[in-house]
């Protein structure tokens, strides 16, 4: 049973993130709303005229162009278009042309192009057949098709799973402006924070709604869990790990800024660690005992393919302690750089020099495809280190969520998330001193991403990461390299600066000649703009303070009323209450229950209005 006696009320215009462990029933709830499943008990009520759009998880190979495939999402447009083509007389033609005008059908191709460009497709891609794209890009086409459909309720199941950082940021902005009701499943906490105004937690067969975004949910859940002493003790262990991490950087003057950011991370961890203390994942990346300085160097290197150099003159060096996030637009060469560093791709020209004690742990985007799915995870690790004992292997796999005999089961039927965890375990098992990770969070749920973040924070070797998960980047790396305009250069800024850089980059005409190195660094005016932006944000916070105060008061009242309602329902569950002798008591409790429900609905509506007012004001 996935859900039992579960209740959920969704208001028009809400944006809700559905979270919960893998297998808890999130996708099944979507199937229920899509009429693919029925309820076994209770009621499901959806407005009859609501148009529901959803993102398919698979797409068949098709000869249709990417643009046509995206436009197919607007089914009414296709109906009108077909009727115009087959009109039998002038009256029918006039009718359907009028329908096209009312539907604003002449804007549909432009909208489809904008969606596809936002999701990373180039002009040439628009004409390519769907069958010519890889699986990940086909999923992007499914997303474009779902966004194209005019809808009142939009259901998105892990929409960022196959997106890069730029497309993720674009989608976040698009969904914030979406006028309908949104229910989405995501394991990207920064994406949830940027889009959701409510969290629906699927836990122990119940649906619990938390007002606010994921960070607010974490705080509220942490406050409940932190009351238990055993959880508190585990929390302190996590805090100690973060303090150890911070102390490592405090000693270095060059890392002062990063140490400060880690202190902020520590403050957050102290508050929210209990929200993840029941996570089944707890692991580390063991590091090779010996290190070389530098670990790896490229000199005058030309990277790419013999007939197509992508990065013509690269000079980079990685030393122990480096924690680097790679930024850059899609197709700029980030994966090419990683593959060359790992010798998966040979240099065209130049020199690759590695230290005597270099040990690389490489997680590629398509790492799952290289797993031998005909055997168990335990056997794979045994092959990699034959001298390891069975108990050592089982203990190690337990940290990645493969407990007991699960470590001995054949991999083939595992889910994508389980295979991704096993692939990460294989990388950690070989004790690298340089971790090179290309989109390591694909298929991972929030708890596993949190465990991965903690493991990376405690890893003493060097790290080089490409990821669309902004939380992972912000919590794990200290500096960024920008791959763009055929160069790899240090990026002196954070992810907000990078977002601004990408926006400015898109505004520059393709035929504008501009020095690549100048383009690679954020404009000087950017920092000045940020100071002005911070001043304006402070003024806005002060202006919105009274509204936020009212909203917080409404939240507290909602919690109090919900607690009262829970207590009344517990009392009503007493079977003795329904005896004739207690008829008056039952009547009183039922009246209180009705009044409390009415008060709760009233304060929920007030909270929604305040939230909407705040969003509009922001």
Could you report the per-residue pLDDT of 40-89, keeping only the tens digit for each? 889 999 998 899 999 887 777 788 999 999 999 999 999 999 999 988 88
Burial of 573 (0-12, 13-18, 19+ CB in 10 A): exposed
Pairing of strands 206-211, 198-203: antiparallel
Q: Which two tokens stand for residue 306?
A: 């013999």
Q: Which two tokens stand for residue 374?
A: 């005909």
Distances (CA, A) of 430 to 342, 361, 564: 15, 7, 54
Peptide bond into 369 cis (omega under 30): no
Can you tell me the distance from the alpha carbon of 18 to that of 437, in angstroms, rounded to the nearest whole number?
27
Mean pLDDT within 569-598:
84
Judged by DSSP in three states, 422 sits in: helix
| Predicted local distance difference test score (pLDDT) of residue 510 | 44
Closest CA to 343 of 296, 308, 383, 286: 296
| Predicted local distance difference test score (pLDDT) of residue 522 | 44
Q: Which two tokens stand for residue 466?
A: 């490409």
Residue ranges of the alpha helices (H) in 72-107?
A: 75-85, 90-102
Can you tell me the distance from the alpha carbon of 145 to that of 378, in angstroms, rounded to the nearest whole number?
41
Judged by DSSP in three states, 52 sits in: strand
Please state the domain extents for the chain: 15-219, 226-276, 296-507+516-522, 539-609
Can you tell me the distance from the alpha carbon of 375 to that of 120, in angstroms, rounded to the nearest whole number?
37
Residue 253 has pLDDT above 60, yes or no: no
Dihedrals φ, ψ of 437, to 5°?
A: -120, 120
DSSP codes, 119-163: TT--TTGGGSBGGGS-HHHHHHHHHHHHHHS--SEEEEESTTTT-
Mean pLDDT within 289-312:
89
Q: What is the CA radius of gyration of the chain?
A: 27
Residue 202 has pLDDT above 60, yes or no: yes
Mean pLDDT within 313-332:
91
Q: Which two tokens stand for residue 426?
A: 């294989």
For residue 5, give the DSSP letter.
Answer: S
Dihedrals φ, ψ of 53, to 5°?
A: -110, 140
Can you tell me the distance from the alpha carbon of 198 to that of 519, in angstroms, rounded to the nearest whole number?
39
Residue 519 has pLDDT above 50, yes or no: no
Render pLDDT for 15-46 as a digit per residue (tens, 0 to 9).
Answer: 999 998 877 888 889 999 988 888 888 999 99
DSSP codes, 270-320: HHHGGGGTT-S--------S---SSSEEEEEEEEEETTEEEEEEEEEEE-T
| Predicted local distance difference test score (pLDDT) of residue 234 | 63
Residue 341 has pLDDT above 80, yes or no: yes
| Predicted local distance difference test score (pLDDT) of residue 505 | 80
Can you tell me the distance from the alpha carbon of 81 to that of 74, in angstroms, rounded to the nearest whole number?
11
Can you tell me the distance from the alpha carbon of 522 to that of 496, in angstroms, rounded to the nearest whole number?
11
| Predicted local distance difference test score (pLDDT) of residue 271 | 52
CATH code: domain 296-507+516-522 is 3.40.50.300
Q: Helix and strand tally (H, E) in the chain? A: 21, 15
Fold match flag (15-219 vs 296-507+516-522): yes
Band (pLDDT 50/70/90 cuts) for residue 207 is: very high
Q: Check residues 566 and 422 and name the one with the higher pLDDT.
A: 422
| Predicted local distance difference test score (pLDDT) of residue 364 | 87
Class of 15-219 in CATH = alpha beta
pLDDT averaged over every residue in the chain: 84
How crowded is residue 280: how many other Cβ atoms within 10 Å of its Cβ? 14
Residue 387 has pLDDT above 90, yes or no: yes
Helices 75-85, 90-102: axis angle to 10 degrees equals 160
Question: With left for phi above 0 and alpha for psi between -120 and 50, is residue 374 left, alpha or beta?
Answer: alpha
Q: Check residues 415 and 309 and name the one with the higher pLDDT.
A: 309
Can you tell me the distance from the alpha carbon of 407 to that of 212, in angstroms, rounded to the nearest whole number?
38
Render pLDDT for 469-493 as a digit per residue (tens, 0 to 9).
Answer: 999 999 899 899 999 999 999 998 8
Can you tell me the distance from the alpha carbon of 144 to that of 116, in angstroms, rounded to the nearest whole number?
6
Can you tell me the distance from the alpha carbon of 177 to that of 159, in angstroms, rounded to the nearest whole number?
16
Of 81-95, 154-168, 493-507, 518-532, the least confident? 518-532
Residue 231 has pLDDT above 70, yes or no: no
Can you tell me the distance from the alpha carbon of 418 to that of 290, in angstroms, rounded to the nearest whole number?
31
Can you tell me the distance from the alpha carbon of 174 to that of 408, in angstroms, rounded to the nearest whole number?
44
């Amino acid at each position: 049973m996935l859900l039992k006696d579960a209740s959920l009320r969704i208001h028009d215009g809400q944006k809700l993130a559905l979270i919960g462990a893998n297998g808890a029933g999130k996708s099944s709830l979507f199937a229920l709303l899509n009429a693919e499943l029925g309820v076994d008990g209770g009621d499901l009520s959806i407005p009859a005229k609501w148009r529901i759009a959803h993102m398919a998880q698979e797409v068949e190979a098709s000869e249709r162009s990417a643009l046509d495939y995206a436009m197919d999402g607007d089914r009414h447009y296709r109906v009108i278009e077909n009727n115009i083509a087959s009109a039998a007389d002038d009256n029918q033609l006039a009718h359907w042309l009028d329908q096209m005008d009312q539907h604003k059908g002449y804007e549909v191709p432009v909208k489809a192009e904008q969606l596809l460009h936002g999701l990373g497709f180039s002009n040439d891609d628009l004409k390519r057949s769907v069958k010519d794209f890889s699986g990940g890009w086909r999923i992007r086409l499914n997303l474009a098709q779902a966004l194209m459909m005019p809808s009142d309720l939009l259901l998105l199941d892990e929409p960022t799973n196959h997106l890069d950082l730029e497309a993720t940021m674009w989608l976040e902005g698009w969904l914030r402006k979406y006028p309908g009701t949104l229910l989405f499943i995501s394991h990207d906490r920064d994406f949830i924070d940027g889009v959701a105004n409510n969290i629906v937690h699927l836990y122990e067969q119940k649906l619990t709604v938390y007002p606010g975004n994921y960070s607010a949910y974490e705080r509220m859940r942490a406050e409940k869990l932190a009351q238990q002493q055993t959880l508190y003790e585990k929390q302190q262990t996590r805090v100690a790990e973060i303090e150890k991490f911070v102390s490592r950087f405090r000693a270095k003057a060059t890392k002062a800024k990063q140490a400060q950011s880690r202190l902020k991370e520590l403050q957050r961890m102290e508050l929210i660690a209990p929200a993840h203390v029941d996570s089944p994942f707890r692991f580390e990346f063991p590091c090779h005992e010996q290190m070389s300085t530098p670990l790896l160097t490229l000199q005058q290197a030309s990277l790419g393919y013999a007939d197509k150099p992508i990065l013509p003159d690269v000079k980079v060096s990685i030393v122990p302690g480096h924690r680097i996030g790679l930024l850059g637009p899609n197709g700029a060469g980030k994966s090419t750089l990683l593959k060359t560093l790992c010798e998966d791709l040979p240099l065209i020209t130049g020199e690759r020099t590695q230290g005597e004690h270099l040990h690389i742990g490489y997680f590629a985007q398509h790492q799952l495809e290289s797993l031998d799915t005909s055997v168990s995870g335990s056997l794979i690790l045994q092959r990699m280190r034959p001298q390891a004992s069975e108990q050592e292997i089982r203990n190690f796999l337990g940290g990645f969520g493969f407990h007991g005999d699960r470590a001995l089961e054949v991999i083939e039927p595992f889910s994508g998330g389980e295979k991704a965890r096993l692939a990460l375990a294989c990388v950690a098992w070989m004790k690298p001193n340089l971790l090179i990770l290309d989109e390591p969070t694909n298929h991972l749920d929030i708890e596993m991403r949190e465990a991965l973040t903690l493991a990376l924070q405690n890893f003493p070797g060097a790290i080089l990461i490409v990821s669309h998960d902004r939380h992972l980047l912000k919590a794990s790396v200290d500096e960024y390299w920008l791959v763009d305009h055929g160069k790899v250069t240090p990026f002196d800024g954070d992810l907000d600066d990078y977002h601004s850089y990408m926006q400015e980059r898109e505004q520059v005409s393709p035929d504008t000649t501009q020095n690549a190195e100048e383009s690679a660094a954020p404009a000087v005016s950017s920092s000045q703009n940020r100071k002005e932006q911070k001043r304006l944000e402070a003024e806005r916070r002060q202006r919105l303070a009274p509204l936020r105060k009212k909203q917080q008061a409404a939240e507290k009242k909602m919690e109090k009323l919900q607690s009262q309602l829970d207590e009344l329902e517990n009392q009503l569950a007493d079977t003795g209450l329904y005896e004739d002798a207690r008829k008056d008591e039952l009547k009183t409790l039922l009246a209180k229950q009705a009044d409390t429900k009415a008060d709760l609905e009233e304060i929920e509506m007030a909270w929604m209005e305040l939230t909407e007012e705040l969003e509009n004001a922001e």
